Structure formats: structure tokens, C-alpha cells
Amino acid sequence: MHAIKTESLTRTFGNFSAVDRLTLTVEEGEIFALVGPDGAGKTTTMRLLTSIMEPASGEAWVAGHHVVKEAEAVKEEIGYMSQRFGLYPDLTVMENIEFYADIYGVPKKLRPERIERLLAFSNMTPFKNRQAGRLSGGMKQKLGLACALIHTPKVLFLDEPTNGVDPVSRRDFWRILYQLLRDKVTIFVSTAYLDEAERSSRIGLIHKGRLLAAGTPGEVKKLMRGSILEIRSTEPRKAVALLQTRSAGAASLFGDRIHLVTREPERDAEEAERALTAAGLAVQGIRTIEPALEDVFVSVLAGERKEAA
């Protein structure tokens, strides 16, 4: 049985399609990352799958239950951590967890062992008596996760859980998610961080409500249309602006490096170096590299735009 299944799931707001005929499956005990920029439809998809919002058309099942016809059964089987998870700043870590245990109806006799385990695996035990409002951003996210897990859900939904969190806390958060897989918890996470998505079992690329591709990170990378030239220049911003107007391929800035999508690496490398040098921009190096998921996303979007045109 699939942990999550959707068939042509659609949600509209007036004439705008926030989720457009979304069809996908998520297997039990895997991490599935829905990846896309702000406004791509990630949060709306989450709300449809957690029975918070009803679709305009199409169907979806979570943990074997229909998200509309069996909405209450769905809510009993899932944990949901929204972008603004409802922690109470004046309550301590323990009091917040106890509050959510009350909401989910966790029996009193099961709570001590369960809470102790959640605090231990999230490294929150030393802070259990601290007020939630005095926690760091990363610690608040871990507390939110503990609250979402207090009733031992089968499927966990996390809507951009590491947005705005420092890199160390992001790494710790993902370490905790990997531990959950041992308990066969299915994790559906949305993120705008493509490097982070590579840690998932499978990913789905979404843009303007449409699922562009889905598969393992390796499978999605095979969708790359062309090769990637990495170009280093002393003035990368000026260099990428020039290449975007002069080059046939898509040029994007990745930190202090430029990634240029190309079908003919040798020819385009020579042309890029010639154009930059002629403009007085020093070239420190050009090489062909393995594409990152962000390269693939840019490439797929460029192909979509060409087809639409």
C-alpha cells in the first residue's frame, strides 16, 4: 500500500491553479521531498494531503484513507508541522509537548517513556524546562517536530521545516529525520533548498502547481538537458549578466561560480572565455562538472518555457 497517493489532484483559487493535476505516489518508510520556489504550490499540496483543504478536483489517499471522505481518519494517522508551527512561547518545552499530547489524546501512561525518547533523540533533554520563546530557531524546529510526533504518526508532513535555520541546525534536523525511518515513518517534506532535497529517498520538482519530474535524485539528474560548464571569474555578477545575453545556453550564478548549460561544452567554453575576455572580465577557470539538482531544475524550466513558446 502506498503511504500517499494522488490522482490529478487540483486546487484552484478563482482562475489560478495552485495545484494542477498532481499525480504522484509515496512509498511507506521513505522521505519524499517536494521541491520548488516560493509560490510553486508546495504548501497548498500539504494542506490538501492533510485534509485541511478540499481539492477542486482529483483524489488523494494518505495512510489508506481518502483525504476528503475520511478526513478525520487521515488526521489521526498523520503529524503535520506547518511553516508557522503553533508553539506557545510562554510554555516550557515539556509543557508544549504535554499540550500536544492532550490534543492528540495520547494516554497518560504512555507519555513519560514517549516524551523521554523524543527529547533524547532531538537532544532537547537539557532544555526541557526552558520556555519555548527563549529557544533558538533550530531548537524551536526540533521542539515542533517532537510535538508533531508525540502521537506516533504513520505519515509526517513537514512544510519547509528548515527555512531560515542555520546550516548546523539543518544538518541536525535531517539526522533526526533519518532516525525516524527506522520506525517506518513516511516523511513528506517540502523545501526550497535543492541541495537539501538530495538527502531524500525521492524528490518531486514542482513549479506553478505542476509536477515537472519525480524520482530518486539520480533519476531526476538524468533529465538534465546538456552538460554544465563551471566558470570562475573575478567579477561573477558582471560575467553571468554578459553570458545571459551572449550565450545560447542558460547561465546562472551559484555562489561565486557561474553554471552554463551547454550541448557543446568545448565550443561554448571557448566562446564564453572569448566573450568575457573581450569585455575585460578575467576568467580564472572553466571546467565541465556534474549537474546539481538546481541545474536540472533550471534546465527543465527552460525546456518548459521553450515548449510553451
Residue-wise pLDDT for 166-202, tens only, equals 888 888 888 888 888 888 899 999 988 888 888 999 9
Q: How confident is the model at residue 306 (pLDDT cuts 50, 70, 90)?
A: low
pLDDT at 9: 97
Domain residue ranges of the chain, discontinuous segments joined by +: 4-221, 227-290
CATH fold group of domain 4-221: Rossmann fold (3.40.50)
What pTM, to 2 d.p., does this model score?
A: 0.84
For the domain 227-290, what is the CATH superfamily, name and number?
Reverse transcriptase/Diguanylate cyclase domain (3.30.70.270)
Which runs of E-coded beta strand occur in the chain?
4-13, 16-26, 31-35, 57-62, 65-66, 78-81, 155-159, 186-191, 202-207, 210-215, 227-233, 251-254, 257-262, 283-289
Task: Please tell me the distance from the alpha carbon of residue 196 to that of residue 302, in angstroms, as a whole number.
Answer: 22
Residue 271, amino acid: E
φ/ψ (deg, to 5) at 139: -70, -35
Query: Residue 172's pLDDT is what?
Result: 84
Question: Are the CB atoms for 248 and 231 separated by under 8 Å?
Answer: no
User: Quick check: 68 and 55 in contact, CB under 8 A?
Assistant: yes
Cβ(41)–Cβ(29) under 8 Å? no
Nearest to 229 by CA among 216, 214, 248: 248
Indicate if the pLDDT at residue 307 is higher than 80: no
